[in-house]
Chain A
């Protein structure tokens, strides 16, 4: 295996990792604030990808407007499920919310396949040639994806650290009882959290749809890699989620050069087991066992 293909795989890993950092951040924030691993994350991504395809096909807008449309749709769907399901389950066990989120995942995906069928779709983007720097290939589309993901992440980190809502959010994530005792009302934080979750999953899904093909299993199959990345970074830690998933994606892309693409899920599973065995708190987090 020559170093050029390893370098190209690593670049691909960075692009995929930055793109998956958006839903991974959503997983870690929901875990920290609403306190459960949200199994519907992947299918919100699928919804984002399909909404992009649909709005291009029926409304004929540009890629950018379609992606914004998809983000709004997934944000609304995510808010709907918050108000219907997760708000009512806030006082119940973590397991109850987890099982309900599986139900949400199935409901969302089957609604998509009911209307769109099982066939694969593509997001219509202009075909461009890759730039070639002495064997290292770089697609302009990948660069757009990278920039978009990076911008979205910077905006969210600014919101979390510079605005009052962000400060309340971090306070609730840190210690929910203390936050409630200090008079922080969680309602606005929750609405912000679930719109952000929806919008980020939608954006992640749409960007992935641009990079690859749109299939009903698109998001669900990424659930394992995303959980592995989030746990690697330290579940509950936003910075950890981003660094964890990027590290994980690079490792996965390079490893699949040697083992073949079907082993991606197996690889994610092995990484997950190793992290849990050796360092369950991940790179930046606190272990769940402490609770």
Chain B
């Protein structure tokens, strides 16, 4: 029971990191990133492959963060000059292209077989049962750090510019700031956070495969964000807790009602996510915990 609770909390914290990155991009800058899982995947595979080659985990995690952030740079440069929804299409294509590469380039990633035996965080420090607790503590520290950083960024001059871009891009341009440059930086920051989350997950699970990085994960994060309320960090946390609660809780529903196969349950779970996305956008655009919409949209 204790082990299960720790696993759930670790899951919440990893989703929370992902949601934090997306909150910076969409909630505070207005960037529609539909390829968040692509940066997450890059982080996982970078850190895992480096650690398997014998690189110490802290360095491999730093490399994962950096590479995920760097991969966002060309996307931002190309799509953000144009505005509109090009970024959504480009990032979605990016995450699918990344997944296809991971599946195909077997010499590097072992393709669909996945990467087993990734070094675990804190392995050998304490007895194996206790490492989960240490990982949980590390994740809490990382999450607090990242959210503190995001909070700090939002309150900084850079944060005021990105919020101004979200609210009125023309005015920002008139003040002599280049919105595309600020947006690209925000995109890279969010991608870096997703990469770090990916690295941490790889060193927790010790096994990764391309199937873990489907676009559905991106939209899990989106539903957490819009459910909690876009543009508030408190909403992000609440939305993520609700999401993981639902994903975990739906496992038990099957035991209770019975007569539903595993495949049907998976379909039902995706159906609820889809319909929830529609309903929140339609009936509660400010989210469950947002007070008043910041934007008059």
Query: What residues of chain A have their CB less than 8 Å away from a CB belonging to chain B?
Result: 36-37, 84-85, 88-89, 92-96, 98-100, 102-111, 113-114, 117-118, 223-224, 227-228, 231, 260, 262-263, 265-266, 268-270, 272-273, 276-277, 280, 287-289, 291
A130 to B25, CA, bound (A): 52
Do A227 and B89 touch across chains, with their CB atoms under 8 A apart?
A: yes
Do A269 and B97 touch across chains, with their CB atoms under 8 A apart?
A: yes
Do A288 and B82 touch across chains, with their CB atoms under 8 A apart?
A: yes
Those 3 A-B pairs whose CB atoms lie nearest each other, nearest first: A106-B274, A103-B277, A107-B274
Do A287 and B270 touch across chains, with their CB atoms under 8 A apart?
A: no
Mark interface residues in B269-283 (1 if CB within 8 Å of A CB, else 0).
Answer: 111011111100110
The residue from A106, A260, A276 contacting B90, defined by CB atoms under 8 A apart: A276
Do B86 and A260 touch across chains, with their CB atoms under 8 A apart?
A: no
Contact flag A110-B97 (CB < 8 Å), given A85-B282, A102-B222, A263-B104: no
* B interface majority secondary structure: helix
B84 nearest in chain A by CB position: A288
B95 CB, min distance to chain A CBs, angstroms: 10
Can you name 13 A-B pairs with beta carbons within 8 Å? Answer: A37-B85, A37-B89, A96-B297, A100-B278, A102-B222, A102-B274, A102-B277, A113-B263, A113-B270, A265-B96, A265-B100, A266-B101, A276-B86
B99 nearest in chain A by CB position: A265
A118 nearest in chain B by CB position: B263
The residue from B74, B85, B104 contacting A262, defined by CB atoms under 8 A apart: B104
* B206 interface hit (Cβ, 8 Å): no
A225 nearest in chain B by CB position: B93
Do A99 and B100 touch across chains, with their CB atoms under 8 A apart?
A: no
A73 to B89, CA, bound (A): 28
* B39 interface hit (Cβ, 8 Å): no
Mark interface residues in B70-91 (1 if CB within 8 Å of A CB, else 0).
Answer: 0000100011011111101110
A264 to B235, CA, bound (A): 39
B263 CB, min distance to chain A CBs, angstroms: 5
A172 to B217, CA, bound (A): 37
Number of residue pairs spanning A and B whose beta carbons lie under 8 angstroms apart: 132
Do A98 and B82 touch across chains, with their CB atoms under 8 A apart?
A: no
CB neighbours (8 Å) of B274 from chain A are 102-108, 110
Contact flag A99-B82 (CB < 8 Å), given A37-B88, A106-B219, A262-B103: no
CB neighbours (8 Å) of A88 from chain B are 282
Besides the known contacts A104-B278, A110-B269, A266-B97, 5 further A-B residue pairs in the complex with CB atoms under 8 A apart: A102-B219, A260-B104, A265-B96, A266-B100, A276-B79
B265 nearest in chain A by CB position: A114
A251 CB, min distance to chain B CBs, angstroms: 16
CB neighbours (8 Å) of B276 from chain A are 103
Do B282 and A289 touch across chains, with their CB atoms under 8 A apart?
A: no
Do A114 and B275 touch across chains, with their CB atoms under 8 A apart?
A: no
The residue from A107, A231, A287 contacting B271, defined by CB atoms under 8 A apart: A107
CB neighbours (8 Å) of A108 from chain B are 274
Contact flag A269-B263 (CB < 8 Å), given A110-B274, A288-B85: no
A161 CB, min distance to chain B CBs, angstroms: 27
A103 to B276, CA, bound (A): 8
A239 to B107, CA, bound (A): 43
CB neighbours (8 Å) of A93 from chain B are 297
Contact flag A263-B100 (CB < 8 Å), given A88-B282, A105-B274: yes
